[in-house]
Structures are given as structure tokens and as C-alpha cells.
DNA sequence: ATTGAAAATAAGCCCTA
DNA sequence: TAGGGCTTATTTTCAAT
């Protein structure tokens, strides 16, 4: 279902779930002062209409030992872009790969346990891929705002 | 609890939950061939140790009518950075704000319903903030890989 | 699309090893 | 830390509006 129009109730439910996807129907029912079955019906519709794509746990990379989080801007030779994307996406450190409109560029997020691992990844892995012109690297040093529910 | 060491069981549980945070203990119990109570104990530990920070629904912005997703690189005058961060973070379109190591730069993700709204945001909102030198903009035109569970 | 109630599942708690 | 059993809570189904 595309372009499913959300009303205020849907928005309120989404808002609460974005805070905590584990709220029970009963809790939402009380908070929004609506019957449990109505809440359930709405959520099911949000899921079926693909407004809600799924549910995930938020994992803090730092508590898993991944100290280094990089943003990579990869300039790519146009005709190799699909190939570059495929190779990059398969590396475990890359968590997100986007195509952007400026130049034939890829915007990549990747996480590593140590600096050393990151540099090794860039020089040994990335620069070995045919079709990559250049890689600009930024390290994330501060998280000011995170709204993980919305997919870019 | 910091630096909680994860064993293979923890990793397997995480892996399954990252695919779907709504798997019941019973389902995980069968998949991993372990008692429900053990699965429960492990997940609770992952939560208490802050490896799992919470649970969120994944929301597809496009199905909410947000067609435009921008990556903004904001060059900031060092002494104003906290102020800039506070102002930017309060705007509803900004979903993520990171500080990066290159220059006094902020890396911002923002979503908009239309192009017009995005340009208006940049010219009327961003450039009115004291302390911003320049804003480089990229529009996301393709999502190749998304791993939303891992926080950057 | 909304609701209430019953039935089926699952989570939470406590105790033991 | 792992496991089992009992109690409560939650989800699911279904019929009626």
C-alpha cells in the first residue's frame, strides 16, 4: 500500500513506538485512551502499508568494542559504480552505503575496532577496488543527535 | 556494566534480533536450541550492559511523504560549535547530528517533504545561525545498504 | 474502521542446581 | 549461568457493529 494517509492517531502511535518499540498494546491503549483492539488494528496497518518496515534493537557499537566510526566519501568512476557498490557492501565494517547526487559519489558509514583496522581497510581493501578514484575520510568524534528510527 | 564480553550465544541472539527485534523468546529458544530462560537471561544482560540500548520501529520516510534526504556538512566557527549544535538539533528535519574530526565540522542528516522545503531550510534556517561558515549539501538518491541497528 | 471478549501465546518471577 | 514450572500479562483471533 503506497501513500497511506496517516491521521493523528497513527502519528501518536508512531511517536510512542519510536521512543520504545516494546510498549505493549495495553500501555499504548492507556496512554492514548483507546481500546487495545484499535491500537492493534492501527499498528497492523502501519506495518502492512510499510510505513513501519520492521523492528530492530539499537546496538551501541562502542559497547561492542567498535571505537572507530568513519564517514567515507568515495568518488567513483561512473561505469564501475555498481561493481564498487557490490564490493563495498559486502565488507562487514560497512554498515550503510548511499549514492548521492554530487559527482559519482558514494557515501559510506563504516565501523572498526581500532584506528589501525580502519586505515588498513581503506588502504588494502578500498584502494584495491577497481573504479574508485578517491576516498575522503571523516571520523565521528561526537554524537549530538541520533534519531535511529528514520531511515535516510 | 562496561566492556561486557560477548560470547557466541550472545552474538547469535544479537544477530537474530537485528533481523527482527520482535522474535519471541520461544522462537529464539528453538532456533538456537537453548531453553527460554537462558535466552531471556542473556537478552536481559545485553540490555543491562547497554549493548542493546533500546528497540525502535524502522520507519520508511518515503512512505511518510519525505522524498528528500540530505547529507549536510557544516563548517562551523569553533567557538560557536555548541550553540550551532543546539540550534540545529532542535529543527525537526534534522534526524542525526555528528561531530567529525576534520575541521570544526558537523555532519548532519535531514529529511524533507519537497526540494523546496530543503532549500528553504538551508537558506532561511541554517544560514541564519551565527557560527556557520559554509554548508555543503548532498542529496541521497540511492540506498544500497542499510544496517539500521548499529549506531554510528 | 472500531470494538469487546475469549482463546492462545508469551513474558516475568521464583526456586533449584 | 542454566534450567524448569507456575502465574500473570500480552497478543491474537473472531464476531458484531
Mean pLDDT of chain B: 95
Question: Which chain A residue has the Cα nearest residue B147?
Answer: A95
Shortest distance, CA B151 to any CA of chain A (angstroms): 6
Question: Cα–Cα distance between B102 and B108 in angstroms, integer?
Answer: 14
Question: Cα–Cα distance between A105 and A73 in angstroms, integer?
Answer: 7
Given this model, what pLDDT does residue A2 score? Answer: 53
Q: At what angle do helices B36-48 and B25-32 cross, to 10 degrees?
A: 110
Instruction: Please list every residue in chain B whose beta carbon sits closer than 8 Å to the beta carbon of residue A2.
Output: 63
Provide the CATH topology of domain B61-139: Alpha-Beta Plaits (3.30.70)
Shortest distance, CA A143 to any CA of chain B (angstroms): 5
Given this model, what pLDDT does residue B35 score? Answer: 97
Shortest distance, CA A45 to any CA of chain B (angstroms): 13
What would the grid cell of residue B105 be? 565540522
- Give domain A8-49's CATH architecture: Orthogonal Bundle (1.10)
CB contacts < 8 A, A to B, total: 214
B3 pLDDT tier (thresholds 50, 70, 90): low
Percent of chain A clearing pLDDT 70 (strictly above): 98
Q: For residue A114, what are the contacts with CB-CB under 8 A and spacing of at least 6?
A: A67, A68
Lowest mean pLDDT among A41-45, A47-51, B1-5: B1-5
Residue A84 confidence (pLDDT) above 60: yes
B24 touches strand D (CB under 7 A): no
Residue A1 confidence (pLDDT) above 70: no
In DSSP terms, B112 is beta-bridged to B68
Quickly give A143 CA vs C12 C1' distance in Å: 35
Lowest mean pLDDT among A99-103, B28-32, B47-51, B55-59: A99-103
Helical spans, DSSP H, in B7-137: 8-19, 25-32, 36-48, 81-90, 115-120
In DSSP terms, A56 is beta-bridged to B56
Residue-level length of chain B: 152
Question: Cα–Cα distance between B3 and B45 in angstroms, integer?
Answer: 12
Question: Cα–Cα distance between B146 and B108 in angstroms, integer?
Answer: 17
For chain B, the structural domain boundaries read: 8-49, 61-139
Around Cβ B50, how many Cβ atoms within 10 Å? Answer: 15
Given this model, what pLDDT does residue B2 score? Answer: 52
Q: Hunting for cell 560477548 — which residue is that? A: B6
Beta strands A52-60 and B150-151 are: parallel
A3 pLDDT tier (thresholds 50, 70, 90): low
**Out of A21, A102, A151, closest to residue B55 by CB:** A21
Q: Answer yes or no: are the C-beta atoms of B106 and B99 closer than 8 Å.
A: yes
Given this model, what pLDDT does residue A5 score? Answer: 84
B37 touches strand C (CB under 7 A): yes
Transcribe B19-41 into DSSP letters. Answer: H-TT--HHHHHHHHT--HHHHHH
Quickly give B37 CA vs D5 C1' distance in Å: 11
Strand C bases contacted by the protein (CB, 7 Å): 1-5, 9-14
Dihedral sign, CA of A112, A114, A119, A124?
Answer: negative
Q: Is the pTM of this model over 0.85?
A: yes
Given this model, what pLDDT does residue A73 score? Answer: 96
Around Cβ A12, how many Cβ atoms within 10 Å? Answer: 16
Q: Does A61-139 match A8-49 at the fold level?
A: no
Q: Answer yes or no: are the C-beta atoms of A24 and B64 closer than 8 Å.
A: no
Amino acid at each position: 500500500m503506497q501513500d497511506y494517509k496517516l491521521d493523528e492517531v497513527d502519528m501518536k502511535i508512531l511517536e510512542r513506538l519510536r521512543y520504545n518499540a516494546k510498549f505493549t498494546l495495553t500501555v499504548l491503549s492507556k496512554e492514548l485512551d483507546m481500546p487495545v483492539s484499535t491500537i492493534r488494528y492501527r499498528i497492523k496497518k502501519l506495518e502492512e502499508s510499510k510505513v513501519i518496515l520492521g523492528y530492530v534493537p539499537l546496538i551501541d557499537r562502542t559497547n561492542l568494542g567498535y571505537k572507530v566510526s568513519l564517514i567515507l566519501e568515495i568518488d567513483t568512476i561512473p561505469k564501475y559504480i555498481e561493481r564498487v557498490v557490490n564490493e563495498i557492501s559486502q565488507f562487514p565494517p560497512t554498515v550503510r552505503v548511499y549514492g548521492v547526487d554530487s559527482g559519482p559519489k558514494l557515501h559510506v558509514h563504516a565501523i572498526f575496532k581500532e584506528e589501525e583496522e580502519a586505515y588498513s581497510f581503506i588502504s588494502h581493501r578500498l584502494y584495491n577496488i577497481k573504479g574508485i578514484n578517491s576516498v575522503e575520510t571523516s571520523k565521528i568524534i561526537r554524537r549530538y543527535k541520533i534519531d535511529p528510527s528514520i531511515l535516510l
